[in-house]
Homo-oligomer: A and B are copies of this chain.
Amino acid sequence: MADPAPAPPWRTTDWLNTDAPLSLERLRGKVVMVHAFQMLCPGCVSRGLPQAARVAELFAGAPLVVVGLHTVFEHHDAMRLPSLRAFLHEYRVKFPIGVDAPGIDGDPIPQTMRAYAMQGTPTTVLIDAAGRRRRQVFGAHEDLVLGAELQTLLLEASLDAGVERAADDGARGCDDGGCAVEPRG
């Protein structure tokens, strides 16, 4: 198939839970999972954000970064920065969150959401270590499938790094002692 296209750059106005703004360039070489959400989107709060937090925790040992993207496309006055800050505090969201830049010329859809042609929130985007968009899912996403998709990109990264064959990697990654992808605690 044709090589997947590079993931569009992120256009953001603020970053929370991180010392410095993040960018795909800065994250090149790592697998990136983007969780696009709105703080007042019930499906994001009940399922999407908890899933993203579990990924961040369970894949902590892997070259993978979970990034939240606050893509507000409705009720803009209701989800300003102070509200988002309080939300992240109350819901104990610890991973980096970028605030998507407001739409241009009165477009209600923020710029990054528009560039990725997201259908709504929550949306999960998987970006490989080469910065290519490999998967985009609107709505709830199965943990089993997400885990498999993330591992595919992680093993590719190790292959492309040419360090070793994925089989060896896998062998060391998955024996009775545990897995490269290992739950913490």
- Give A residues with C-beta under 8 Å from B: 1, 3-4, 40-42, 45-46, 54-55, 58-59, 74-75, 77-79, 82-83, 85-87, 89-91, 126, 133-136, 142-156, 159-160, 165-167, 169-176, 178-183
Contacts and interface: CB of A to CB of B under 8 A. Distances in A.
B147 A170 contact: no
Nearest to A135: B174
Given A151-B152, A174-B135, A79 B86 contact: yes
B46 A145 contact: no
Nearest to A2: B175
A104 B114 CA distance: 45
A163 to B, nearest CB: 13
B135 A176 contact: yes
Contact of A167 (B126, B135, B156): B156
A8 to B, nearest CB: 13
A145 B41 contact: no
B134 A91 contact: no
B152 A55 contact: no
Given A1-B172, A142-B58, A179 B133 contact: no
Contact of A170 (B40, B78, B85, B155): B155
A85 B181 CA distance: 36
